[in-house]
Structure 1
Amino acid sequence: MAALAVLRRSAPARLLSGTLCVHSRVLAPWRQYQSNRHFSNDKILVEMDESTGVAVMKMKNPPVNGLSLELLTEFSISLEKLEIDRGCRGLILTSASPKVFSAGLDITEMCGKSAEHYAAFWKAVQEMWLKLFGSNMVTIAAINGSSPAGGCLMAMCCDYRIMADSPKYAIGLNETQLGIVAPFWFKDTMTHTVGSRVTEQSLQLGQMYPAPAALKFGLVDQLVPEDKVQITAAAAMAQWLSVPDHARQITKPMIRKPIVDRLVKQREADIDNFVSFISKESIQKSLQAYMDRLKQKKQ
């Protein structure tokens, strides 16, 4: 994988607790025994490069990487495995599907189901956010396609965002366009990323931003040609990993922990609010109408 090859060339030899200085002639034979470790399930593919300490995680729920209950559960399990692996220092999150990062929450999980299912689904959405936004690792989103709603949320959780510079792609929290209200922690994440005024306008209008506008407002940090997203993410990761881990890992929660704690304290109430809202007849009709329109487009 090109991204991992760049990291092998540029990343310093470093342990979690600090820098490890190794002479090249000693390191060379050691590297011969290193290999990429793969682990995957139905919806998530992970490739871990032990020589760099960087994992590439690809969502693979075609055609648009809808965030289903299954994908969210597998994502959280995979991320937890990486988090407890002391050899893993960084995560590049991307998509195995061309032209889309993630289309956001799977509408079918929120329509025509039981209250118990809605609660389980929303708890899985919360868990994904808590693990990704609160991760100790360096997290970089390699956004290789459009990223509405929950896909945008995942990207904003990451420390750095690189997006394909194409007029075909856009990113944003567009929930209100579907008659859905983004919860407070979606809002908090966007405010953390782009500030209050842009967040207020974006959420009320359900705005999707083309790549240049996303860069202008700080929703993404860098635009590159579509075929350069992965290799640029690897180069950015090497730069982030040049900072001693212990200093970065203390600094990150200084900024993010108050945001995380707000959901942790209100988690059950947030689930109850979601179930109550999504179960309303008017909301169910709106979601069903949206799914019907999608079916017509496919015909």
Structure 2
Amino acid sequence: MAGRAAWACRAWRPPLRRRLDGPPRALAGAPPRRLFSGPAVQVELQEGAGVAVMKLKSPPVNSLSLELLTEFTISLEKLENDKACRGVILTSAVPHIFSAGLDITEMHGKSPEHYAEFWKAVQEMWLKLYKSSLVTVAAINGSSPAGGCLMALSCDYRIMAENPKYSIGLNETQLGIVAPFWFKDALVSTIGHRAAEQSLQLGLLYPASDALKVGLVDQLVPEERLQSAATQVMAQWLATPDHARQITKSMMRKEVVDRLLKHRDADIQNFVQFISRDSIQKSLQMYIERLKQRKT
């Protein structure tokens, strides 16, 4: 896997789309055209609408492995460079799960070099999604703990299926792990400092109805209407001229992005040191054993 996640770290400037701004074209009526599909990510573009649907498809639970993270980042970069694409709906092809978060096996029993490569891939996924010039709508069609929640938080708008069995939140402390500062920054920017403090310390997973109340998601809809609702929201966002929306987005998110870019190497080193501790490795081992017991 070495070398898959080697990306250049560049200063962030407000991106400008290479197209004429204007009202969005119809989002319905045109069959989807598949752009590319890898082992873990499937991407389709609606012809004439400029909207891609990106589906995570790494069963059983869309764990964010190094492979999935790398493929996701490359796929999003392709869409960023596609002049026909203005927005992305992010969802899951796996029933009842959006993403179970970071792949625990990537953080257990590996070398420090592997941990560093993996964490750099996590950083790159977040940076690419959080500062994307595209309109990003998360259609959350299942539970979304930890890193899955982070992906949803990184989008411009979040719609969740109204199902009492689905939950979302940054529950790292429940696993004995501390969410890094940029996870925290993204959550504080979304739900406010006090709610974020409680959420992070207790590792809360919010049922869909509570996630709406706290502001973690923007809308709840019946599961069968999730994609159509995401399409409607996308049309509303695309009605804004691209250049004005992109500059505003970059202005709102620049401080959070710049903080990670400034401390990126230190963040990787801190992660490697933390995850390499014997106590943390034992905690992860116990969690992996519990997962195996559930499967059997």
Settle same-fold status: TM greater than 0.5. yes
Q: Name the structure 1 match of 2:153.
A: 156
Pair 133,168 (structure 1): closer, same or farther in 2 beyond 3 Å: same
Q: For 2:53, what is the secondary structure of its paired residue?
A: strand
Which among 255, 266, 270 is matched to residue 267 of structure 2?
270
> Secondary structure in 1 aligned to 2:63?
coil
Deviates more, 1:79-88 or 1:63-72: 79-88
Q: Secondary structure at the match of 1:18?
A: coil
Distance 2:94 2:23 in 1: 37
Residue 243 of structure 1 aligns with which residue?
A: 240
Q: Could you say if the C-alpha distance between residues 139 and 291 of structure 1 is closer, same or farther in structure 2, counting changes exceeding 3 Å?
A: same
Whole-Å separation in 2 of the counterparts to 1:148 and 1:114: 26
Q: Deviations over 1:25-68 (max 9, x none)?
A: xxxxxx99x96242111100000123000000000110000000
In the alignment, residue 83 of structure 1 is paired with which amino acid? E
Tell me the alpha carbon deviations over residues 257-287 of structure 1, each in whole angstroms, 9 at most, x when there is no partner.
Answer: 1110100011000000000000000000000
Name the CA distance, whole Å, in 2 between partners of 1:239 and 1:35. 20
Distance in 1 of aligned mates of 2:187 and 2:120: 20
How far apart in 2 are the matches of 1:188 and 1:161? 17
- CA distance in 1 between partners of 2:32 and 2:221 (Å): 29
1:220 and 2:220 are equivalent in the alignment? no
Aligned-residue RMSD, C-alpha: 1.7
Cα distance in 1, alignment partners of residues 165 and 286 from structure 2:
25
Cα deviation per residue 1:107-150 (whole Å; 9 max; x = unaligned)? 00000000000000000000000000000000000000000000
Contact preservation (8 Å) 1:53, 1:87: yes
Q: TM-score w.r.t. structure 1 length? A: 0.90
Identity among equivalent positions (%) equals 69
Could you list the structure 1 runs, at least 4 aligned residues long, displaced by more than 3 angstroms after superposition. Answer: none
Residue 211, structure 1, aligned to residue 231, structure 2 = no
For normalisation by structure 2, the TM-score amounts to: 0.91
Aligned length, in residue pairs:
277
Q: Is the 8 A contact 2:22 2:239 kept in 1?
A: no
Structure 1 position 107 matched with structure 2 position 110? no
Where 1:126 maps in the other structure, the secondary structure is: helix
Between the aligned partners of 2:19 and 2:190, the Cα distance in structure 1 is 27
- The verdict on how the C-alpha distance between 1:248 and 1:292 changes in structure 2, with shifts beyond 3 A counting, is same
From 19, 24, 28, the equivalent of 2:22 is: 19
Q: 1:153 touches 1:186 (CA, 8 Å); kept in 2?
A: yes
Contact 1:178 1:286 in 2 (8 A): yes
- Partner amino acid, structure 2, of 1:153: L
Note the residue ranges of structure 2 that are not aligned, 5 or more in a row.
Answer: 1-17
- C-alpha displacement at 1:21, in angstroms? 10
User: Structure 1: which 5+ residue stretches go unaligned?
Assistant: 1-14, 25-30
Bigger CA radius of gyration: 1
Residue of structure 2 in register with 1:289 after alignment: 286
Contact map agreement 1:50 1:88 (CA 8 A) in 2: no
Structure 2: distance between partners of 1:253 and 1:21: 21
Alpha carbons of 1:35 and 1:216: their partners in 2 closer, same or farther (altered >3 Å)? closer
Contact 2:32 2:44 in 1 (8 A): no
> In 2, distance between residues paired with 1:284 and 1:97?
29
- Match of 1:151, SS state, is helix
Distance (Å, rounded) in 1 between the aligned partners of 2:68 and 2:199: 27
Question: One-letter code of the match for 1:241?
Answer: L
Q: Distance in 2 between matches of 1:296 and 1:256?
A: 42
Residue of structure 1 aligned with 2:256, choices 256, 259, 264: 259
Q: How does 1:161-172 map to 2 (within 5 A)?
A: 161-172=158-169
